[in-house]
Structure 1
Amino acid sequence: MPDAALPPSTSVVVMGVSGTGKSTVGEQIAQRLGWEFVEGDDLHPEANVEKMRSGTPLTDEDRWPWLRAVAAAIGEHEAAGTNMVITCSALKHEYRDLLREGHDSVWFAHVDTREEVLVERLRKRTGHYMPGSLLESQLATLEPLTADEPGHRYDGEGSIEETVQTLLRELAEERGVTA
């Protein structure tokens, strides 16, 4: 149980399908706020990485252990009273429910981009195990944020700076977070 003397923490979950710029936005937010940045992809079990690398979409059963690892990272920061930014595709409402369960600090930043832009970005991307061939399955799985989920959708097609500035402004308004 967190120490009542610690200030409430915020865990920004930068979400969306592959190629939206989640990692770039997340790193920028964490840097500007002086918070820890966690690349959620690094928490995937090796079996998931190999499955994606081979071009096989993950199933819900594949994703649950990974989502629990992301939720555990959020819980560790909450227990310590520290803030963080973590990336996680968080494609379905039920996945986001798992991330929020018992974690009041969670605030979602859904970076959203048109499919044709994503296809082009993924075609150019190097050094990542997620092939562009899996984009279609991610888009089919994606459920937009709903009114009962804390956070906002952000246009991932503009400049990173514009996205970061908008996100920081809304974090300040809704969570009292200042850079």
Structure 2
Amino acid sequence: MMANLFIIMGISGSGKSSVASLLAKHLNYHFVEADDFHSEIAKAHMADNKPLTDEMRAPWIADIISYLNKLYLQGTNVVLAYSGLKREHRQQFRYLDYNCHYFYLSGSREKIATQMESRNNHFFGVDLIDSQFQAMETILPEETDVHVIELDGDLQQVCSKVVRLTDELVN
């Protein structure tokens, strides 16, 4: 049976890590935080309120994919918290052998800014939120594996939506 890869995506501050962590616990899947794969240089760049370039993202994505390939060979089901800003980058995960599904946490600038301001000790500040909205490429109709989850409730309500969808996909 093919292992599952559920990717919780969205701009920084959308709640990806919180939702992905809770979903991984619910499903008893391995949780992977994409931010853990950023280089110290990239983290410092973002901490200086500078958005990453595609050139800076390339080795980060390659490292995540390499790690996911190792997990796949072990038969490990995964929930990944990952921005998914660019279609080209989302496509790279689709080439993996996993049964891949995306859950895009979509919300207003105001909602996400409020969530960002409540975080502590994160290298990505609220000053970069506009660059995230600009970098987020529209989900195309052919991206049928992307489920849009509106951030119209609290964390528990958003998690409940994602859990319902994943339960349908795994059963």
How high is the TM-score relative to the length of structure 1? 0.88
Moved more, 129-138 or 72-81: 72-81
Q: Does 1:86 align with 2:83?
A: no
Q: Which residue of 20, 43, 52 maps to 1:58?
A: 52
Partner residue in 2 for 1:75: 69
Q: Is the 8 A contact 1:23 1:87 kept in 2?
A: yes
Between the aligned residues of both structures, percent identity stands at 29
Q: Which residue of 10, 15, 25 maps to 2:9?
A: 15
Q: Is the 8 A contact 1:16 1:88 kept in 2?
A: yes
What is the alpha-carbon root mean square deviation over aligned residues?
1.5
SS of structure 1 residue aligned to 2:97: coil
- AA in 2 matched with 1:8: M
For 2:160 and 2:83, locate their aligned partners in 1 and report how far apart those are by CA, in whole Å: 21
CA drift of 1:113 comes to 1.2
Partner residue in 1 for 2:121: 127
For 2:73 and 2:153, locate their aligned partners in 1 and report how far apart those are by CA, in whole Å: 35
Partner residue in 2 for 1:140: 134
Partner residue in 1 for 2:35: 41
CA drift of 1:102 comes to 3.2
SS of structure 2 residue aligned to 1:50: helix
**Pair 1:12–1:165, CA change in 2 (3 A):** same
Q: Which residue of 2, 18, 21 maps to 1:27?
A: 21
- Unpaired segments of 5 or more residues in structure 2? none
Q: Does 1:166 align with 2:150?
A: no
Q: How many residues align?
A: 170
Q: Is the 8 A contact 1:78 1:105 kept in 2?
A: no
CA drift of 1:105 comes to 2.4
CA drift of 1:47 comes to 1.2
CA drift of 1:145 comes to 2.6
Deviations 1:132-165 (A, max 9, x none): 1111111001013323331301122312222222
For 1:30 and 1:133, locate their aligned partners in 2 and report how far apart those are by CA, in whole Å: 30
Q: Is the 8 A contact 1:109 1:167 kept in 2?
A: yes
